[in-house]
Amino acid sequence: MKLSTMHDLFVAQLRDIYSAEQQITKALPKLARAAANATLAEAFRSHLLETEGQIGRLETIFGILDVSSRGPKCKGMEGLLAEGADTVRAEGANEVIDAGLIADAQRVEHYEISAYGSAKALAALLGYKQIGMLLEETEVQEVATDMKLTAIALNEVNPAALGMHAAA
């Protein structure tokens, strides 16, 4: 990879995000199947639809820039999703596993929020106003997903998981 200009860096960052989102679309159905809590499972299914829209926005951005979306696999997301896969395979109380799934998913969301925020800043620096607005739209969705996961954890999953500890 050659990073001679800020435009090169911007495209590399977008390709990394694109790879991350592609990986997430493969992981979310597995998380939804693994979740015992119905609200959590639905949140994962709902976010899959959002993620597909986010990929569409990225493809629009690549079209505007007239560059390919092809790039190396996002290793950061690969690692985060591997940790989530460990939780999916874990044995134990469903409520505790659900709490783990939320923690894993929130780490993914925070990675995405950071990536989209950085890309949005680069878009502003480079004067790509339309692209910046598309990135902002996705960043807002990622923040909302993180907040939704927090609410599910605080209101349903974590109290249920704690109850499992008290019963043991």
Domain coordinates in residue numbering, the chain: 6-167
pLDDT of residue 167: 52
What is the average pLDDT score of the chain? 96
pLDDT of residue 1: 76
117/45 Cα distance (integer angstroms): 24
| pLDDT-derived band at 168, boundaries 50, 70, 90 | low
pLDDT tens profile 63-120: 999 999 999 999 999 999 999 999 999 999 999 999 999 999 999 999 999 999 999 9
pLDDT of residue 116: 98
pLDDT of residue 125: 98
Quote the CATH superfamily of domain 6-167. Answer: Ferritin, core subunit, four-helix bundle (1.20.1260.10)
Q: What pTM value is reported for the model?
A: 0.93
